[in-house]
Copies of this chain bind each other. A is one copy, B any other.
């Protein structure tokens, strides 16, 4: 349908992003979901749109479906309200009949999820009539063109990314892709989207902030970050003194702390505000309507563009707070609002991003990490950042192993070259020394970065054959941090054979499994990570087989670092596990609990971090680490980090998520049995872990140390 009679725009921001009236017929109808009304709305519409309304005699309606949905308790689900508005405005069938049919389908679609959900959707149908008509002024035909927005953004963004994002990709020529025909894509494109699609965004109240940075740690979109401004930076900042704090920490003496919010990239989940401990019971972050916060965007822009990183003044790996002074190399992804996966991906990028290499399995994590034209992976001011590639469900681990082995092979060649360089007569004494330093610390990311920065210009100046070879291999001078990122579908099921092979290989590769316990991206099918009792596709009456213990399986090798983490339950344990995994000179596997929209968290995805906390408290999820390095020093490699669960809360936890709660509604007879089984399984698993943690170690003369 390229010439519709009716067009509805459900997201106000799209007025500026897309050509929303394209093809709408003369005398047609336009419906806009907006927070504006009447004259204010008219003022905020782009000239292009107003001109089209007037030129083509369009009837324009508007409704604040977002506000209505909030009031009803539907969160940001506006679809039923707008559907109802459509039927009422167009009268394609009699309104009474439309209402009746919509309600019938609501029972069919949501009946299984409980009467509560049905009632809310009924209300949405009823309130779909709360639209108003906008008077179209015929003089709008004479409005000038909207001023073209000038920017200094890279050509790549303006020439390729923006047209594709505006759904004009089919107008691009093949020659526009010259040089990247192989599929290479530039990093840092997501940051130019500035979609402004959140309804509510956090407002930072400096007075209530204790500078813990927990908010930044959990943000799925890296849209809230702490900045530390020195005197000069503070002087030039568009930030009132009262909207900053004296930065806590000896190395920050004399500087100011700002928790800046990128309101145009925020997705409004609210987890930052949810986890904020505040001061004396007062939160330092409060969710406010986006339109009230547009002014702070300039503060964000200033901090990002003009304030230098202070991350070298602290040890960013030391604790949660410090970690957030590190630049995220993963930002503004297209993941769902409140996504449980992306905070882990972001944290890893903060710790290792400038020398990180990622092999990504298919699944949500591949979609939000690299859907052309959006790349959330970014680079620092020196142009260093993660290298990222994506393969299939079934071979993601082998794909990552291939990256590792290619790198290993090239570094082996570099080692030979560096050896030659230490005694090359054409090279300077400085080159000799740097080459030797490299040989002595080739596996130290920080040291090799420093050497690379000094060595490369010297080699360029020298120009001998050996230096030329070093320059050919310059991308491999810095030690890489190898990561494989996958969901539970890929790692527990489809690609498990390969994952096992890679872990068994003994290579220094780190695997992050973001475990949503279900195939998230393909629509919620059951995987071997799905626990007993959960409803998922292919397990419509509740899964009957207990969840696979992927971490424990990997631990049987004895030389694989393994951990189960849940950021929302223990931010420090998450950081520790990632740090230990990366430091361990061998394979590592981290299984990270990740709430997902498929879980149907009743409290909403704005509480996904809190949901992780509840999961661990009630014994649904357990935190542990298996560190082979401990065994090498005669200690038990297994550490159980979870406290004894409060098992009484177990069933309440299940009932707080639609994937379980709906079982009770659909199959009440089986639900109670399956819930009991789920609890018993969780207890069985916890007791296994406890026994492992309590094992006597190193006291038996027969227990030898672990050979490498």
A interface, CB within 8 angstroms of B: 493-498, 500-501, 504-506, 528, 544-546, 548-549, 552-553, 556-559, 644, 676-677, 680-681, 683-684, 686-688, 690-691, 695-696, 700, 702-708
Select from chain B the residue with minimum beta-carbon distance to A558: B684
Q: 6 more A-B contacts (CB under 8 A) besides A496-B500, A505-B545, A686-B702? A: A494-B497, A546-B558, A558-B684, A676-B707, A680-B705, A695-B695
Asked if B556 contacts A552 (CB within 8 A), the reply is: yes
Measured CB to CB, the nearest residue on chain B to A687 is: B703
- Of chain B, the residue at the smallest CB distance from A686 is B702
If the complex has contacts A496-B500, A695-B691, A707-B684, are A548 and B553 also in contact, measured as CB distance less than 8 A? no
Nearest CB in chain B to that of A705: its residue: B680
Instruction: Name the contact of A707 in the complex, choosing from B548, B680, B707 (C-beta under 8 A).
Output: B680
Bound together, the chains give a CA A442 to CA B442 distance in angstroms of 66
Taking a contact as CB atoms under 8 Å apart, the answer to whether B684 and A700 are in contact is no
Q: Which of B528, B644, B707 contacts A681 (CB 8 A)?
A: B707
Q: Is A546 touching B559 in the complex (CB atoms < 8 A)?
A: yes
Nearest-Cβ distance from residue A191 to partner chain B, whole angstroms:
39
What's the nearest-Cβ distance from chain B to residue A556, in Å?
5
CB-CB under 8 A from A546, the residues of chain B are 557-559
Q: Which residues of B contact A501 (CB under 8 A)?
A: 493, 496, 528
Alpha-carbon distance between A545 and B703 when the two chains are bound, in angstroms: 19
Contacts of A708 in B (CB 8 A): 677
Would you list the 5 A-B pairs with minimal beta carbon distance, nearest first? A497-B497, A680-B707, A552-B556, A677-B707, A687-B703
CA of A146 to CA of B532 in the docked complex: distance in angstroms?
72
Complex formed: what's the CA distance from A172 to B504 in Å? 49
Can you report 27 A-B residue pairs in the complex whose CB atoms are below 8 A from each other? A493-B497, A493-B501, A494-B497, A495-B497, A496-B496, A497-B497, A497-B500, A500-B528, A500-B548, A504-B528, A505-B545, A506-B545, A546-B557, A553-B553, A553-B556, A556-B556, A644-B702, A677-B707, A680-B704, A680-B706, A683-B704, A684-B704, A684-B707, A687-B700, A687-B703, A690-B702, A695-B695
Residues of B near A681 (CB, < 8 A) are 707
Chain B residue with Cβ nearest A636 = B691
When C-beta atoms are compared, the residue in chain B nearest to A688 turns out to be: B558
Known: A687-B702, A700-B687, A702-B687. A556 touches B549 (CB 8 A): yes
A661 vs chain B, min Cβ distance (A): 21
Instruction: Note all chain B residues with C-beta closer than 8 A to A498.
Output: 497
Q: Look across to chain B and name the residue whose beta carbon is closest to the beta carbon of A676.
A: B707
Among A506, A548, A556, A688, the one with the most B-chain Cβ atoms within 10 Å of its Cβ is A556
Find chain B residues with CB under 8 A from A497 CB.
493-498, 500
Q: Pick the most buried of A546, A683, A708: most chain B CB atoms within 10 A of its CB.
A: A546
How far does the alpha carbon of A677 sit from the alpha carbon of B558 in the complex, in Å?
A: 14
- Alpha-carbon separation in the docked complex, A496 to B704 (Å): 30
Instruction: Indicate whether A706 sits within 8 Å of B687 (C-beta atoms), given known contacts A504-B528, A528-B504.
Output: no
Residues of B within 8 A of A528 (CB): 500-501, 504
CA distance A495 to B500 in the complex (A): 11
| Residues of chain B within 8 A of A559, CB atoms compared | 546
